[in-house]
Structure 1
Amino acid sequence: MKNNKYIAAFSIVEVMVSMVITAIIIGLIFGVFTIVSEQILKFKKENEQTADFNRLSYSLNKAIFDSEKMVARENRLYFQTYDGDTIAYQKEGDYLIRKAQTFTDTFKLNLNRIHLDSVYSSTKNKVFQKLELELLINEDLIPLRFYKPIYANQLILWEK
């Protein structure tokens, strides 16, 4: 007596079809992953410039508010604070470096120009120091303008 036992199994054709389907699915997933990764990197790069711009704007506002004196020379900007510290901003390549006594900060922003000037109010009764920075961001020139009031006691000291 012959005992015929059959074992349930896949044929080679069935295995090959399942491998082709798996390869197609993995290829689609890899393609989607590549596209999403590129978009995330592009967004990150754009967001870094925006974050640096916002940090620079905040930092300059704080330096202007906390400073007694502002001086611009070439591609450098100096702030003399009320407590005697000096904060310097300077251009180095495509970066803007902020140096203070406690730390150094780097902004990946291309500084095109620094201009410091005195301006009067429309009624000519107030004087302001106007700080204008021109930044090159995404091929666009973006101006940043800050105004610091100059008080009478400072005007008297300047006249001496």
Structure 2
Amino acid sequence: MLKQNNFYAVKAFSVMEAVFSMVITAIVIGVVYVIFSILSERMNDFKEQNRYVADMNRLSYAITKDIFDSEQMFEMDTNIVFESYSGAVVRYEYGELFTVRVQDDFTDTFAIAMKSLKMDTIANKHKRLFLKRLKFQFDVNGKLLDMNFFKRIYPNQLLKAEP
């Protein structure tokens, strides 16, 4: 403490200096808050978009594996059924918002709407190679996406299918 004119003076900030530093601190905090909320919103958008990609990858992998492992595949109502060589059955149920894969006691849900399914048999121009084609149309984040899956049909399977 210093003694000046019979008063003791304490070295400190003036009221104006304190107010000025509080205003600058408030501006900095406001800018940081705005930047943080923008980044947080962008990260949520990225997370939502990534969820669609992850679901699409999982669904594509599951369908490809089930087609490869299946001996037969057929459509029933809003289901597509795969029967494997071992007798195991995998069923895909599709609705307006979700596609559900059911195998024994395991159920997997994909947040992807299947809009249409078409199953047909195609052949090459020499009629030596036959394929069963599954043509899916998915609604992914408001966009229609077509996906085709193929399974080779061998001659013995064609003979079984003949009446």
Q: How does 1:28-47 map to 2 (within 5 A)?
A: 28-47=31-50
- Code of the residue aligned with 1:90 in structure 2: it is E
Query: Quick check: 23-32 or 98-107, which moved more?
Result: 98-107
| Corresponding residue pairs, total | 159
Cα deviation 1:23-80 (Å, max 9, x = unaligned):
1000000000011011111111111111111111111110000001001123211000
Cα deviation 1:75-103 (Å, max 9, x = unaligned):
21100011111101111331100011141
Q: How does 1:128-143 map to 2 (within 5 A)?
A: 128-143=131-146
SS of equivalent residue, structure 1 residue 112: strand
CA distance in structure 2 between the partners assigned to 1:61 and 1:102 by the alignment: 20
Cα deviation 1:78-132 (Å, max 9, x = unaligned):
0001111110111133110001114111111111001111111221112111101
What's the counterpart of residue 24 of structure 1? 27
Contact 1:52–1:107 (Cα < 8 Å) also in 2? yes
Q: Find out whether 1:80 has 2:78 as its counterpart.
A: no
Counterpart selection for 1:58 from 43, 57, 61: 61
What's the counterpart of residue 13 of structure 1? 16
Q: CA RMSD in A?
A: 1.6
CA distance in structure 1 between the partners assigned to 2:25 and 2:153 by the alignment: 72
- Code of the residue aligned with 1:154 in structure 2: it is Q
Counterpart selection for 1:159 from 143, 151, 162: 162
Contact 1:96–1:109 (Cα < 8 Å) also in 2? yes
Q: Find out whether 1:91 has 2:107 as its counterpart.
A: no
Q: Aligned residues: percent identity?
A: 36
TM-score, normalised with respect to structure 2? 0.91
What's the counterpart of residue 71 of structure 2? 68
Q: Find out whether 1:120 has 2:123 as its counterpart.
A: yes
Contact 2:96–2:115 (Cα < 8 Å) also in 1? no
CA distance in structure 1 between the partners assigned to 2:45 and 2:107 by the alignment: 27
Structure 1 gaps of 5+ residues are none
